Chains A and B, each alone.
Chain A
């Protein structure tokens, strides 16, 4: 990566960034007073979160949006902090340190220099970002002390170091290469690192403004989706298109080197001078101006999506190969927003660019909180990494969020006289499986919530994967979202090879794999542009989760971390002979995933979900009293 003298954006990290420890001289607690608790916090850009570790073990992690009900909430995560201390049952003064996931001074440095480099033209993005950088971030310590009312030491990490730590420390590996790719941290947009034992060492960086994350976001915007949340839709749209613009991207927008390093042609981007990612020169080469949000999606957007997806995969795979060459290890960890591109992740494995792959489930900025906490625990305070059993990792299935007891669920239902039945775990699994087999939609809220953007069977909406209409029904009547968006399957881990060409487990739903040839059905898309009619054509024996390119974003479920959910799949397989169901996040479009019994009940009553499961309580829609609300609830949520 830094072997290209014509690519000045690549550089060995400066300012001592190769260290594992957060760098700040602070008054430490005396050793005898330490409890081993470290709280990590990410905030003020998007997806603020908190995470608590104890002696290097993850205790809990939570994202503020789940409490505030504001999607991608960037505010100081007071509720998430509270939830973490609650899970740890500790007082704030028991914390050895609070660690912020990035260095606000370096972020400010980047912002000032960026403005200076474009002069007067940089005023708009400066005015947009300055309040956050000059205000809240620089007064982080005061915010922490106001929240916790105690004099806990505050440390600062660096954005990509936090991401790298979040990818390596919870992984099962003792030594691995680490790649972090996102929009931008302080300066870094891409980081290659290596993790070994308790250390994480940064090897190379690509610096702002040359950013693969921002390149992808530019296409997100051009295709009419919201930057920083619509990237996932762009990935879902890609299989509907052909990569007709891939060469244009390579020739006009990004110069890609053999080692995966790259350089953007900044004359075609707008983000340095304006609040838009792109400019007229960009639009000239991608067939015109951005699609109007919420307008009809055309073949042009699908082709643009397919094109940027192909280029992204090419860059990432080259990077993986280069990192393996310079570190000598073929075990790989990923984090950063681009690591949520599960199509690219799947390609890494399919092309055998690495041997084993572990991706932080909260790969976006929320995961920075966890990384910062683990970095301090291992790198600063010297806690050894906990041992890990073969085939396991240290993230516990990412079921590390808040949970609600049966007593809490029943208290909510009883006081409101909402009818329900109480079933034991086995009967619950049988009931849910039966409802799914009957083609009914089930809202499923059981156990600690997931940390990360994917629902993994703790806050999920479930459906029958065998039904070709499930995808459009769930999109339009339950999720109220765009019809083209695919749904993901949860599959019994022990049966994954019967359905998917995966080759490994995928417990965090971060890998896309082809469905097996022998369950595919002949499918001719034709020249149709109507996405609903395309979606409704069956493509396999599990059509609801088979995308138009015969791919699926797979979650494999074993009995270790979520036995209740595994039991649902097992019962469904007994009833139907199919060990796969549809698993979508428990929310509607624009809404954060449900967290509490109140959230779940509200979503249940607002949508066409037929059955609601909350811990051991099961509710039927037909037995519920009328649910009246003032105004239109859809106005509560901004479209994402």
Chain B
């Protein structure tokens, strides 16, 4: 359906249209979207004070967290909420966002509210979105795809510097986009090989995965070097974010299904986040083992065949992985608020 789900936002670039109720056609059979008045896919309104006697979790991330492909109730955030007594999960997931926009969403809507736990769930590929300055979006009345600006940070000597504030609304002509450095351009030959790989994979499912495994690729390669510019930027964003939080923080880097299916190694990103955990004294949750303990057939059912987002089953696995960690914080909260909770 031609229902537009997003509106311009001067800080984030865009957000869900506040209060929108929609259903999206999808290969998984379609899913329902319910948004709160702050413009996030969340069944709760964002109030400065949390409801009395409630453990409130602020959950941030991209489309995996927002739950593209599944209805609100089947997302890992909502599943977690129902596994704990007197718990409210405020979902600030923003589809298509980088960690930069996720931090801005937190600052704009969550930083000043009352909460007990902050869970940051960057998709490991978000590291690439952080260095992008523009995004593809639907155009005007003709509905064609156009490029618009997004907010982004650069890492300067004295810290993060925010650009594109307020985010311009105007469509950027292709010839005015920043030039892609030669080393980041995809060569014609490489592109052709990728298309051929994809075409064969349609006829011989698993072919693409096999070729990736044989090449022992560890993507995203930005995690390979701790001094890589993109990782330094992401680390700085997460460091500032943890510093700004007024509660306990958990970071849960979400793997792509290339990692879940063992097509990509994932060693590098896991190493970087472990280092970050030590550096910031923050709990980092690795959800890959929760997927890997299952057989390949089970893992395949955790994602949609074409759309690489988690199915209901995939969300359940993520919730399973997070549950024991959230439980510790929840129990600590219960202990300190025992009288009120009872």
Contact = CB atoms under 8 A, between A and B. Distances in A.
B169 interface: yes
Interface stretch (A10-18, A237-245, A414-422, A527-535): A414-422
B25 interface: yes
A414 B8 contact: yes
A471 interface: no
B21 A86 contact: yes
Contact of B30 (A82, A408, A598, A601): A82
Interface string B249-264: 0000000000000000
Contact of B29 (A148, A414, A596): A148
Nearest to A82: B25
A595 B19 CA distance: 20
B166 interface: no
A601 B1 CA distance: 17
A598 B25 contact: no
The interface residues of chain A, by DSSP majority, are classed as: helix
Interface in B9-32: 17-25, 27-30, 32
A407 B38 CA distance: 12
Given A67-B2, A417-B169, A407 B18 contact: yes
Interface string B131-162: 00000000011110000000000000000000
A568 to B, nearest CB: 25
A596 B2 contact: yes
B293 interface: no
Nearest to A604: B141
Say which size band chain A's interface belongs to: 35 or more
B141 A86 contact: no
A593 to B, nearest CB: 14
B7 interface: yes
A190 B22 CA distance: 40
A602 interface: yes
Contact of B19 (A90, A150, A405): A405
Nearest to B140: A416
Nearest to A69: B2
A410 B8 CA distance: 10
Interface in A363-409: 402, 404-405, 407-408
B29 A150 contact: yes
Interface in A58-82: 67, 78-79, 82
Nearest to B24: A82
B268 interface: no
A598 B141 contact: yes
B23 A602 contact: no
A411 B8 contact: yes
Nearest to A595: B2
Indicate the member of B20, B34, B141 with the most A CB atoms within 10 Å: B141
Contact of B17 (A91, A407, A599, A601): A407
Given A408-B17, A408-B20, A601-B141, A92 B29 contact: yes
B71 interface: yes
Interface string A322-339: 000000000000000000
Interface residues of B, number: 28
A601 B20 CA distance: 21
B1 A82 contact: yes
Contact of B169 (A147, A415, A627): A415
Contacts of B6: 411
Contacts of A148: 29-30
A407 B169 CA distance: 17
A83 B7 contact: no
A605 interface: yes
Contact of A411 (B1, B7, B28, B34): B7
Interface in A451-471: none
Interface string B312-330: 0000000000000000000
Given A416-B141, A598-B2, A598-B141, A85 B8 contact: no
A247 to B, nearest CB: 51
A405 B20 contact: yes
Contact of A147 (B3, B29, B71): B29
Contacts of B19: 405, 407
Contacts of A85: 23, 30, 32
B20 A412 contact: no
A267 interface: no
Contacts of A424: none
A599 B22 CA distance: 18
A294 interface: no
A149 interface: yes
A147 B29 CA distance: 6
Contacts of B143: 598
A260 B141 CA distance: 51
A629 interface: yes
Interface in A589-640: 595-596, 598-599, 601-602, 605, 627, 629
A239 B43 CA distance: 57
Interface string B67-97: 0000100000000000000000000000000
B247 interface: no
A415 to B, nearest CB: 5
Nearest to A598: B141
B30 A412 contact: no
A149 B28 contact: yes
Interface in B102-129: none
Contacts of A150: 29
B71 A91 contact: yes
Given A407-B18, A414-B7, 15 more contacts: A82-B23, A82-B24, A85-B23, A85-B32, A86-B21, A86-B23, A89-B23, A147-B29, A405-B19, A407-B7, A407-B19, A408-B3, A412-B4, A415-B7, A601-B141
12 contacts: A82-B1, A85-B32, A89-B32, A90-B32, A92-B30, A402-B3, A407-B7, A408-B17, A410-B7, A415-B7, A416-B140, A598-B2
Interface of A: 67, 78-79, 82-83, 85-86, 89-92, 147-150, 402, 404-405, 407-408, 410-412, 414-417, 595-596, 598-599, 601-602, 605, 627, 629
5 closest A-B pairs (Cβ-Cβ)? Answer: A149-B29, A411-B7, A86-B23, A415-B8, A602-B141
